[in-house]
């Protein structure tokens, strides 16, 4: 992170390619994937789980909602596993936002603003908004 901060222009350029705003996902797609977690066939359950994890922040609110609906034991296990895998994959975007905040120049701020345009309620969107707020308080 320190090395990236020292080479701010290159770091912002790289992060612009790698870290994107979280896109909304059609509710029907999420519903189908959640239903797939309760499928009889193992392959269908695994495919649904992988796709939900790949959607990461876009799927997380629906996964948390599914837990509140008191699902069966298998669905609960699948949802908890997907949430754990999403959480584990969150470190890189969090660190990227940290680097952008540390750089704090116009290009970094622009990328942070772009990230705040992502899906509401997504961790990456909220993290970017928090970084912008902290930068504003420092100035």
Look up the pTM and report it.
Answer: 0.77
Determine the straight-line distance between the first and last CA of the chain, rounded to whole angstroms.
22
Structure confidence at residue 8 as a pLDDT band (50, 70, 90): very high
Specify the pLDDT at position 18.
93
Specify the pLDDT at position 96.
96
Specify the pLDDT at position 90.
85
Average pLDDT over residues 2-9: 90
Burial class (CB in 10 A: 0-12, 13-18, 19+), 28: exposed
Specify the pLDDT at position 128.
97
Contact 23, 114 (CB under 8 A): no
């Amino acid at each position: 992170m320190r090395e990236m901060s020292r080479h701010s222009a290159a770091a912002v350029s790289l992060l612009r390619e790698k870290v994107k705003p979280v896109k909304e996902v059609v509710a029907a797609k999420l519903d189908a994937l959640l239903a797939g977690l309760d499928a009889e066939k193992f392959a269908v359950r695994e495919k649904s789980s992988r796709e939900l994890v790949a959607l990461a922040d876009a799927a997380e609110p629906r996964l948390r909602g599914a837990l509140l609906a008191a699902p069966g034991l298998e669905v609960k296990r699948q949802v908890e596993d997907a949430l754990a895998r999403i959480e584990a994959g969150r470190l890189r975007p969090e660190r990227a936002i940290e680097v952008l905040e540390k750089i704090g120049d116009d290009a970094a701020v622009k990328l942070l603003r772009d990230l705040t345009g992502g899906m509401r309620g997504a961790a990456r969107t909220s993290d970017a908004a928090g970084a912008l707020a902290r930068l504003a308080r420092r100035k």
